[in-house]
Amino acid sequence: MFKPEEMVKIEILSLNRYKDSLLTYLHEEGVLEIREIEISLAQRDAPNEFYRKAASYSISLSRLIDFLGNYKEGVQGGLKAFIFPQLKSKKRYKYRGIEELIKEIESFLKIAEPKIKEVEAKITSLNTELERIKTEIEILELLAAIDLEIEYLKPTKSVEIAVGFIEREKFDPLIKELLTTLQNRIAYVSKELKGKYLVVFAILKKDYDKANPLLAKYSFERLEVPDVKGKPMEAIEDLRKEMELKKQELESVEEEARTLAKQYHDELVFYQELMENEREKANMLGNLVRTNMTFALVGWVPKKHVPHITEGIEKITHGKVYVNTKAPTKEELDEIPIKLKNPGFIEPFELLTEMFGVPKYNELDPTPILAFTYSFFFGFMLTDFLYGLIIATVAALLIKGHKKLNDGTYKFSNILVWSAFFTITMGVLFGSYFGDALQRAGINVPALLDPLRGALTVLGLALAIGLIHLFIGYTLGFIVKFRNGEVKDAIFDQLSWMLIIIGVTLLALAMANVMSILAGEVVFGLGFILFVISQFRSDLPLPMRFLMTISNFFGFVGNWLSYARLMALALATAGIAMVINIIVQLIWGIKVGPVPLGIAVGAVVFIGGHIFSTAINALGAFVHALRLHYVEFFGTFYSGEGKKFEPFKAKREVSELELEI
């Protein structure tokens, strides 16, 4: 806790014949981050033909899965599936090397792929036909307005037929210019339709080259006349019958697709996951180097995993391996991957820390402090017992449903549970149960403080909390810099602010006649002197140093005043809840004759309003509690510029690899 996982650098050198097995073992263990080797004495490794095939088959399998996924039955969805997702069953696979796996995939695809592609082609063809028929029906419905035989709308040896739409205001000018240009050698039929004119032109073939530019000039929108016979309505009837037959045929083929999905979908997903993991291994080969007989890799691993990993490597390679581990040097501090290490109840809050950035190897991990202060700030801003109860209930359901997955939803729900606990606690202290709903119902609720009536007291409390929070941050920064040998920076950049905060606190106590003002002035003055010295240590020109001193001091004041948002959000929650309660109170007694309509409407407004208030105020509390940490708190001591530990790890949802060691 407070420090990242202790890491060591590991170097492995072995024979090429063990490379696939060793990479697979490390991939399944998922505790080693492989780094690129900078070396000129050997050549960089590259995927062989089997790894290249794995990448190709992964894409092919993915396409087949996408198709059959549309016909897969029994897929759970909706809210229930989100809260209680079903765990996918895993199928074991005995790994005998990349070559054997590729051969097995090829045998499987040789059987399954032609069947799936045949059905896919049929469905694509039928859907294309249905779209064609649908388009032809739409065109014929338009042509029905003219009610001519379709054969009359097709060109002959000597006459060209043009069918289409033209804007109403362009119709007369077009006709006039066509008649003039073609010397009246043109016939046409028109019908006003949907604000335009539907026109059929009959033009001599020899005149068509003259007419065509005019049609384009007036934006004549051509229609493709379907290849049917009879009048439009008769043709439409025939096409609808054809459509029904095609739909029946499509339904039959889709039933074949559902059968294939039942037979092959899960197996395709299984093999695709195997191929994806092989592709990831292939991508990692570029970080390795090799000679004709050997290969080498370098990476970082948590120290606690070294004995187990070393033992596995020895067994995989039958002892024909060189393994060397060494502690990181000062020069490698910026390169060490960071894996956070916290107790189980704090671990979910690592999600919030990692959203900002992980610490450097020689920095403190702020997660243990963030776990408490973030939850407390959330509760202070939401500050309602029943709002907290709603959030806790939702979070508990999500924890139960996602526990086995241990995914982001599970971690975030754990954060919400702790935040809801503080919300409930603050709700009791502030006497808030759906705002002032109980008080308006005539129930006396004990409360230490009312945020609406005691706003100044809440503001003072918020600023005091902010001062403590900032002091903790500067203290942590002092510890980190002092421990890393940056003594001057620790004194001038961190201790100065610590003394200023202590001085402000002592001055506030003096104003309350608790103690003498002298102690506060001395401590504040000493802190301010150190702060001024720290600003004048820079290489900036003297006027700029002076301006930066003023800017940074008032920047601190601004950060401190930012904690007033604790009070502001608490007031907003109480205010919105009170408005909802007032509205419900106003409509509660409304009756329509003997029917107490106000009670029904009031209940809907009360429940809906407070659910909305819970959601909107919880969102505000979530965002502003994060801001107080990311901007104000982390700015006092934390860089977040470390590199997150990204182990070479297999992704297993439906497969489970059995690797012989």
Residue 466's pLDDT band (cuts 50, 70, 90): very high
Structure tokens that stand for 130 in this block:
């249905």
Give the three-state DSSP class for 149.
coil
Q: Where along the chain do the CATH 3.30.70.240 domains lie?
A: 1-45+288-339
Q: Which CATH fold would you assign to the domain 155-224?
A: Alpha-Beta Plaits (3.30.70)
Among the residue ranges 75-89, 408-422, 435-449, 604-618, the one predicted with the least confidence is 75-89
Residue 74: count other Cβ atoms within 10 Å of its Cβ: 5
> If you ran DSSP here, which 8-state letter would residue 445 be given?
-
pLDDT digits (tens, 9 = 90+) for 11-35: 999 999 999 999 999 999 999 999 9
pLDDT digits (tens, 9 = 90+) for 222-263: 999 998 888 899 899 999 999 999 999 999 999 999 999 999
Per-residue pLDDT, averaged over 178-202, amounts to 90
Separation between Cα atoms, residue 566 and residue 437, nearest integer Å: 22
Separation between Cα atoms, residue 234 and residue 229, nearest integer Å: 8
Using alpha carbons, list the distances in angstroms from residue 164 to 171, 186, 283, 627: 12, 16, 56, 61
Separation between Cα atoms, residue 14 and residue 658, nearest integer Å: 22
Tell me which residue has tokens 């890799």. Answer: 297
Side chain identity, residue 283 = N
Q: Which CATH fold would you assign to the domain 1-45+288-339?
A: Alpha-Beta Plaits (3.30.70)
Q: Where along the chain do the CATH 3.30.70.2750 domains lie?
A: 155-224
Per-residue pLDDT, averaged over 343-365, amounts to 93
Residue 576's pLDDT band (cuts 50, 70, 90): very high
Give the three-state DSSP class for 307.
helix
Tell me which residue has tokens 């202590």. Answer: 502
* Spatial CB neighbours of 486, under 8 Å, sequence gap ≥ 6: none
Separation between Cα atoms, residue 466 and residue 472, nearest integer Å: 10
Separation between Cα atoms, residue 217 and residue 369, nearest integer Å: 74
Supply the pLDDT for residue 198: 92
Q: Is pLDDT of 75 > 80?
A: no
Separation between Cα atoms, residue 460 and residue 402, nearest integer Å: 41
Q: Is pLDDT of 41 > 70?
A: no
Closest CA to 560 of 443, 465, 481, 487: 465
Among the residue ranges 101-115, 139-153, 315-329, 611-625, the one predicted with the least confidence is 139-153
pLDDT, mean over the chain: 91
Closest CA to 348 of 371, 365, 366, 364: 371
Supply the pLDDT for residue 661: 62
pLDDT digits (tens, 9 = 90+) for 274-312: 999 999 999 999 899 988 899 999 999 999 999 999 999
Supply the pLDDT for residue 434: 94
Q: Is pLDDT of 77 > 70?
A: no
Supply the pLDDT for residue 46: 81
Q: Is pLDDT of 74 > 80?
A: no
Structure tokens that stand for 57 in this block:
């088959």
Q: Which helix (H) or strand (E) holds 415?
A: helix 408-430
Separation between Cα atoms, residue 646 and residue 7, nearest integer Å: 13
Residue 200: count other Cβ atoms within 10 Å of its Cβ: 20
> If you ran DSSP here, which 8-state letter would residue 251 be given?
H
Is residue 226 a contact partner of residue 235, using CB atoms and an 8 Å limit? Answer: yes
Is residue 345 a contact partner of residue 368, using CB atoms and an 8 Å limit? Answer: no
Closest CA to 163 of 183, 133, 193, 206: 193
Supply the pLDDT for residue 40: 67
Phi first, then psi, for residue 501 (nearest 5°) are -65, -40
Residue 76's pLDDT band (cuts 50, 70, 90): low
Is residue 321 a contact partner of residue 313, using CB atoms and an 8 Å limit? Answer: yes
Structure tokens that stand for 601 in this block:
């409407």
Side chain identity, residue 649 = K
Supply the pLDDT for residue 546: 79
Q: Alpha carbon 520 to chain centroid distance?
A: 49
Among the residue ranges 6-15, 105-114, 148-157, the one predicted with the least confidence is 148-157
Separation between Cα atoms, residue 166 and residue 191, nearest integer Å: 11
Residue 452's pLDDT band (cuts 50, 70, 90): confident
Separation between Cα atoms, residue 278 and residue 266, nearest integer Å: 19
